[in-house]
Every structure is written in C-alpha cells, then in structure tokens.
Structure 1
C-alpha cells in the first residue's frame, strides 16, 4: 500500500514539475527580441572594438580621441554582456544566479551613467574650446582629460551600485525565477523621477545650451571650414537621448496603474531601443565621413579620418579665433 501511495506521489510531483517547468521562447515577440539583441551585440562589439583599436592604438592620442575612446569602451563592455539578456529572454527564467542578476543591472547603468557624463563632458569641452580658444590652448591637456575620464568612470560606478544592491530574484506565479528590482512603492517612484530629472532632463538642458553657444560663436567668427566634428557631436547626443526616451516614458507610465496592460511589451521594446545606442556611435563616425559609399572595407579609414578631422578642425578654429582677437587689439 505504501509503495502504491509513494508511486502515486512521484507521478503527481513529476506532473507538477513538468507543468511549471520553463518553456523556451517560441512566440514571435520573444524571437524578435532575442534576434534584435543578438544583432546589437554583434554590431556593437565589432564597431566599438574597431573604434577602440583605432583611437587607442592607430592614431595619436588627443583630448578629442580619448573622449570618444572612453565612450566606445563603455558601449563595448555593455555589448559584451548582452548574451546574458538573450539567455533570459529565451529561457523565460533567470537561471544565472543572484550575482549575475545584480551584475547585468550594474553593467547596464554603468554604461548609461558613463555615456551621459561623457556626452556632457564632450559638449562642455567643445563649447569651452570654441568660446575660449586661448585659454584652452594652454590648459586643455591630455593628462587633464584622462583625469576627468577616470573621475567620470568612478562616479558612474558609484551611481550604479544602488541598482545592483536592489536587484533580487523571486519566484513568480508561474514558479519561474525572475530577476527584478526589489523597490518599495515610494522608493520606486523616487528612483524613476530622480533618474528622469537628473540623468535625462538636466544633461539635455546642459548639452542644448552648449550647442546653442557653439553655433552662435561659429557663425559670428565664420569658422566653417569643417563642421563635421560638430555634426558628429550633435548626432551622438541626439541618438543617445532619442534612444533612451522610450525607457523613461515607460518607467514614468509604470507609476500609473492605468497603463499596466501595455507595460510588459513596452518596456521590452524600450530596452531594445535603448540598447541600440551602444552600437550606433561607430556607425555615425563612419557614415559621416567624406564620400561614404557604403563599402564595408572603408569603415576603418572613415573612422580614422573622423578622429583626424577632429584634431584639424580644433586647430583651425583656434587659429581663426586667435587671429580675429589679434586684429582687434
């Protein structure tokens, strides 16, 4: 009798385990998300790897090139760990443990914070070069740029720690492990609003002001020999803020229960859109080169010419401004 009862229990347990076992990704949305992340990973690792190789080893180090080199390193690190997100999507369950759950969150926000700080630094640096060329000629050194980059990475890492601390694993109603943020309701509201204000609106305002000042100064001094560096800076900034806009929109919508039905799909799409920013920068360097013909073998030369023109354009603006100021004396 006991053996019969034990056998029945084993069958019930086996049936229960089979019913709650995670199913692999099969629906259209799931497959498309996995493919999109895979494409972003391949292009991002390849493109940013090329930028790191060229800006780090092929050409002379300048203040401008180290800005973009640091930006490429941030995007490269992010793309390198995107396969973890693919596993999560395909398995429909977090199977990589608590440490990796915290790590992917830390890596995501490290990329986010470092990119924002670097874009603000690039904008302010460009504005200072145009507005105060004599001062920057003496004070704008490679060593100081490297110190600023180091500080920006330290600040970004410190800001990313809370995201990892609050990351946790739970079992959902389908008996599957979920990697999520263990915020209380008031904490979640504060985090979302603060991120939107301090990591989106304020940087956007600073960058916009710098762009307006640069445009006015360039027009007043007729320094239009090459405006490609300014176009690249503008394109990087626009691409970043457009790619992260859906993320903030859906996070703010999450605070209102009315939008609960559209949030799961919307947040997944927002994550993909935000991730595209990690591979778009190398494409901008290449596509904005002179006489781009769409040939893959020209990619290296286009990226390298972009960085070289950064140096030439900066020298040209400073020489024009200096000569203009001398004529006024």
Structure 2
C-alpha cells in the first residue's frame, strides 16, 4: 500500500468524526486533485456505498414499522429514535463518498459543517438512547409498580427529545471548528487550534466512558434483581438490548482509542494511519447493523427469512410483550414479599 492513499483516509476520518490533524499537517498533504484509484481507497468507497444502501433501507424499514405500523409504546419510541439517528447519518454518506472519490470537497462551507455535525450527532444520540434503554430496563425491574403506572409514551418521547438536545449541544464543536481550506483541491477539515485535547476529552467522557459505566451499572442491578427473584428464564427482553450495546461498543471503542492516541504526535506513522482507517470504517458500520440485529433476533429465523420486515416487527414486538410480562412477574413477586415491620 502506498503512502498516497493516506490523505484520502484522513479526509474520510475527518468527515466522519470531526477529528483532524493540525492545519500545518494539512498543508503538507498531497494537493493534487485526483480520483480514487488505489485498491484500499476503492474498497473504502465500496464499503461506504454498502453502508449507505443497507443503512437507508434497513433503518427506513424500522422507522416505518415502529413509527407507522406498530402500536405506540415506550420500546418502539426508543428504537424509532435509534433508527432515525442512524438513518440521518447514512443519508449524509454520499457527501463523504464523493469527497473520498474525488479527493476534493465541492459542497461548500455550510454542508461541510452540517455533515460533520450530523455524524457527531449520530454518535452521541445513539449511545444516549442505548443508555436510556438500559436505565429504563433497570427501573422496570427494580420498581415494577411505579414503572407500570408512570412509564408512558409521552414521557418517553420527552426523554428522547432531551437526549437529542444534549447530543446537539455536544456536537456544536464539530460545527464551530469546521472550515474549508481554500486550495486546489478544497478540503473540509477541523481547525481545533488549542482545543483539540478538550474536544477529544469531552467526546471520550460523554460519548463512551460515562455511558459505559451507566450501562454496566444497570446490567449489574438487573442481574442481581432477576437472580434474587428467581427470574433467570425471563431474560429475553434484554437480549436485543445486550446485542445492540455490545455492537455499539465494538464499533466505537477502536475509534475512541485512536482519537486519544492521535493527541500524541509521535505515533503518527503508517501503522497509525491504518488504525485510523479501520476504526473510522468500523464506527460507520454501526449505523446499518441495528436493523439486521432486530431481524436476526426474532424467533424461527429460518421460517421467517422470506419477510425481513416481519422479522424486525416481530423482534421489537416480542421484546415489548416480554418486557410487560417481566414487569408483571416482578410486581407479583415483590407484592408477595413480607413487609418489614
């Protein structure tokens, strides 16, 4: 693999996440416009096209099913928001693909900022929704009576709006520090100046560390409660959530690690460039995986494989009904426990 491929990947990483090298390093990159001819570049473009097609189709199906076909519930509200976040991200991928292919940003400053904002928003909103689902599961099991009386679609929608609002605030740096480098070819890059460490710290803390600790704590409480009530057979409502969370962290953990390592300029070699390529591509892959996870978690996949939409609806609906049964069982067990005098 030749070194001429790396500038293309740097642009791809910048467009995906808002992380970039300093302006001085940008000026040293190859400024000759050209098209994607290297094998690695072609593979990256093909992979992004696949993510775009599958992401738009799969997440669009989930949005249609949870938003229009299924009965409104707290669970469908969570998964509708998650699918909407991934759908918006996938919808912006053509800009990134065009930038990789042409090695030139032709869409102007507004779309440069908007593209970076949407991609950062997707990261925050996705993990925040997963945290919300984990906390919701924990409350449902720990306080079943309260959850049954107070857990409403209206309140769930309000929580989702709040999560999107906070995600938007945390994504502002991607807009503020995004600029167009006026040379031939033009580049959409992040000019962080002295704020690079702060941006990476905030993204790692709020986009990974705190969500990870929160989800881990919720799962510890869930496991303890379920075992205490001898409900080990009633864990089905948490399978989809477990898979979604695990997939998210597998896809985003390498990128978070690479982002922190990027602050150390001494590690910027060919191996590090390759790590940037892999981590950025893996992070983007998370946006098309969720709908397929819904489908493959449904019962009797082999019998239902002819109907992908039915699989998605079946998985989400099955979890909704199972979660309700779990709440009822937990409530019944708690009511039978002796009250302390």
What TM-score comes out, normalization by structure 1 length?
A: 0.89
How big is each residue's C-alpha offset from its partner over 1:4-52, in whole Å with a ceiling of 9 and x where there is no partner? xxxxxxxxxxxxxxx9651110001110110010001111111101111
Deviation for aligned residue 1:295 = 6.4
1:216 matched to which residue of 2?
224
Counterpart of 2:67 in structure 1 is: 56
Q: 1:246 to 1:328 in 2, by over 3 A?
A: closer
| Superposed displacement of residue 286, structure 1 | 0.7
C-alpha separation in 2, matches of 1:91 and 1:269 = 21
Which residue of 2 is the match for residue 312 of structure 1?
A: 321
Indicate the residue corresponding to 2:312 in structure 1: 303
Q: Does residue 153 of structure 1 match 2:153? A: no
Give 3-state SS (helix, strand or coil) of 2:106's partner: coil
- Structure 2 partner of 1:11: none
Return the alpha-carbon distance in structure 2 between the equivalents of residues 111 and 22 of structure 1.
30
Q: Say how many residue pairs are matched.
A: 308
**Does the Cα contact within 8 Å between 2:237 and 2:320 map onto a contact in 1?**
no
State the distance in 2 between where 1:288 and 1:24 align: 41
Retained in 2: the 8 A contact 1:285–1:306?
yes
Instruction: State TM-score, norm by structure 2.
Output: 0.86
Compared CA separation, residues 318 and 218, structure 1 to 2 (3 A) = same
Instruction: Give, in whole Å, the separation in 2 of the partners of 1:126 and 1:100.
Output: 38
Deviations, residues 246-274 of structure 1 (Å, cap 9, x unaligned): 21121112111221113433323222100
The 5 Å alignment of 1:1-329 reads 21-171=32-182, 175-184=184-193, 186-262=194-270, 263-293=272-302, 296-329=305-338
Question: Secondary structure of 1:108's match?
Answer: helix
Cα distance between partner residues in 1 of 2:256 and 2:146: 38
Gaps of 5+ in 1: 1-18
Conserved? CA contact 2:304–2:311, under 8 Å: no
| Conserved 8 A contact 1:229-1:306 | no
**Aligned match of 2:4:** none
| Mapped contact 2:66–2:313 kept (Cα < 8 A) | yes
SS in 1 for 2:181: strand
Assess, with a 3 A threshold, how the Cα gap between structure 1 residues 319 and 106 changes in structure 2: closer, same or farther.
same
Contact 1:130 1:214 in 2 (8 A): yes
Indicate the RMSD between aligned Cα atoms, in angstroms: 1.7
Further displaced range: 40-49 or 154-163: 154-163
Q: Using the alignment, how far apart are the partners of 2:333 and 2:192 within structure 1?
A: 57
- Structure-2 separation of matches of 1:249 and 1:224: 35
1-structure distance, mates of 2:86, 2:31? 37
Q: 1:20 to 1:60 in 2, by over 3 A?
A: closer
Question: What are the superposed Cα offsets for residues 58-98 of structure 1, whole Å, 9 maximum, x if unpaired?
Answer: 11010011000100000001001101110010001212111
Q: Secondary structure at the match of 2:179?
A: strand
Q: Secondary structure at the match of 2:37?
A: coil
- Counterpart residue number, 1:7: none
Q: Following the alignment from structure 1 to structure 2, what is the Cα–Cα distance between the partners of residues 292 and 227?
A: 19
Distance change in 2, residues 1:87/1:222 (3 Å)? same
- Give the Cα–Cα distance (whole angstroms) in 1 for the partners of residues 116 and 303 of structure 2: 36
